[in-house]
Structure 1
Amino acid sequence: MQKLAIQGGKPSRDISSNPWPKWPVWGKEEETALIEVLNSGVWSYNGPKEVEFNKLFAEYTGTKYSLCTVNGTITMQLALEALGIGVGDEVIVPGLTWQATAATVIDVNATPILVDVLEDTWCIDPAAIEKAITPKTKAIIPVHLYGAFADMDAIMDIAKKHNLYVIEDCAHKHGGEWKGKKAGSIGDVGSFSYQLSKHLTAGEGGSMTTNNADLAEKLDALRNVGRRPEGDSLIGADKGIGDYGDDGNFIQSGNFRITEFQAAILIEGLKRLPEQNATRDANGEYLNELLKELPGISPLKRDERETKKAYFNFAFRYDKSEFKNLPIEKFRAALEAEIGIIVDACYEPLNNCSLYVPHTKPARHKLNETYWEGVNPKRFSLPVCERIFEKESVCLHHKVLMGTKADMDLIVSAIQKIYNQSDELMS
């Protein structure tokens, strides 16, 4: 029996001779586009590349409007502002997500209400949403997490029943589909991130999508210092919808625009995205079928209503009882040593997250004692989130899914190798 890599044996994959596919992916097309922007002298502010990408991404997501911003955090903040959410309002957020999902709610002086997730998808639990609704509730932010899709049928039914807004956090779901509808086209606003790790990236950046003309105009103004839509910045919108000020300005705001360099990269990346998503989907489906056969390993559920998959990282659940009670930290370390890529836990639950700490900023967030207590994340109980983070989650970068079926076989054989020698790791 081959010795485990973490114990000095030969790894299952020698990345010096057999590296994983690179990320980000770029080529001559990006180089040409960036030089074109450089030579044009138009480096920002509703330039032709940004206008083109907005049009392409709206078409891709099946929405009427798409608008770029500086990142996928500001997208949610501006969505909340455009929907009129603020002081005295509550927004329901899953407890298992990147901290920005909740932090943006605080940034508009509303209160995030953290609820638990489903153990088989790690996405927000519709039953927990129902229980959390109060007369102050104004919106739900479902997060399509890692490879899974939030149950948008149940969420939209709840929203309709209680007259709530829905902001889809699609930072992990560019190109995913629910019953034939793209992520970001189902709720009132879709929020996308183009941060470096995302499967459509320009290093940083974000997009807001919507089918509502009035919302689109507000979002466009909010990202552009409050100005009314200018030129072609809002493709297809009827100008002059709503009245948020005199002709000189539309609404108070700041500068959240991206650059033409980012837009140029996004145009080329969007051309590759469908094929990349298809490759990751095929490999993810193949890998999940193999993982089902391993003791102690459970793939995340793929809902039959999810008609197109889009992976941000590849995640699965681990049961240490099948591995001689090998702690998950040791399992992750052993797998990382075998396959030569970082093996991590999921996000920290927001009720005990080192990055989500509103009480470190009293000058900004302590509006009054009631609000101060309301934004204390530790007041929420999230047992499923905590169990997933502490005992079950295993996450790999999505670039592992951009290889071959032989690469998927290698991951499975590495897990099997650890299983066979878990007693040795315990000792």
Structure 2
Amino acid sequence: MTLPFYQALTADVTALSAQLPLAADNLQDIRRSALERFKAIGLPTLKTEEWRFTNIQRYLKEFPYELQQTPVAVSADTVAAAAIPGLDCYRAVLVNGHLQTELSELPAGKGIIIGALSAHTTAPGFTTWFNEQPHLAEAVLAQLNTALFADGLYIELAANTVLDKPLHLVNVYTSNSPAFVQPRHLWILNRSAAATIIESTVHPDSQAVTFANSVLETVVMDNAELWHYNVQLGAANFREVHTTATHQHKDSRYHHFNFTLPSTPFTRNNLSVALKGSHTETNLKGFYLANQHQHVDNHTFMDHIMPDCYSNELYKGVLLDNANAVFTGKILVHQEAQKTNAFQQNNNLLLGDKADINSQPQLEIYADDVKCSHGFTAGQFSEESMFYLRSRGIGEDAAKALMVNAFSHDITSEVNVPELQQQLQAQIAGIMNN
């Protein structure tokens, strides 16, 4: 590969390793191994099966590689841009992956640990669970993150601990020159713990182009429940690869919602869930609304390892202008995972003349007592429905906005935070009405 980005990373692994933050702690061997693995695999190309519809190298050409280890100061007004009107919540503000306690409002109390990842690398939860999700080993950009991350957010809730209100995680990405930043997060909910966590992204338009390669590991222990919302509302000078890897244990419940809205040119979401205990419930819901030349790529992997588990996945997309999207959803049912119920559906509206979708729903089943299904649809508005609305005096743009709102309702209606639900519905309507 001739990209300066790649050459700078692989030219001198030893010298680069010496620059690693936390190099003297228990991460040293993990980092070196991950960096060597990244060097051996190399950046994805269009010949890489998992990336054959996404040319990531075109988005990396502008980046001279530099380790972004120093946090950048941001104002309270910048953080306020991500606020959810009317929502009573805790708040954690991260700038390029570094926790800003002066801008945050964190919960306190017995059984609650929320802080910078760099301050908890010797915690029992960290040493037990960090980098333990097996799906990360095959994700080359996750390996790069493991090797070179600077900081992130560590959350651990003790057994039977419940956050009394949502935690709003505000990710601010900003730099005065092109930057490649790599936040790393680890969230652990121990037995019968519960939390709702909302992620938002802020990237000031006046700043240089930033590429975020973030990795989140979540651990949902026996009978615990996590509601996780990721709202991606970016900017023209922002690009993102967001990897989430989840361990789910016996009787646990995991609900993941991903909303990708304009106008980040490139967004790749990797989401994998390992169902390591029986009688689990997993709900994966996603909605992407892309315009102009925006490229949105969602990859999901449901790994059914144990019996008597249930998973339900629904992703919907609306593509305007010249936008294009990729959806690859894989369900793997191991031989031991009898009585699995696993469902997957991807539906798309193509509203631009050159809008495009590549969808690959996949089932791989080795058990014989299961209920599994997958499906895909792509189309335009029903002419009959459009005629019905137009005949009642509703203009074409307003009619399209109403139909997109109805199309997204299956996703937004299941958001269990009313203030977030209202904000998302208003944002989707606002985009369609512009």
Q: TM-score, normalised by structure 1?
A: 0.22
Greater strand fraction, Structure 1 or Structure 2: 2
Greater helix fraction, Structure 1 or Structure 2: 1
Q: TM-score, normalised by structure 2?
A: 0.22
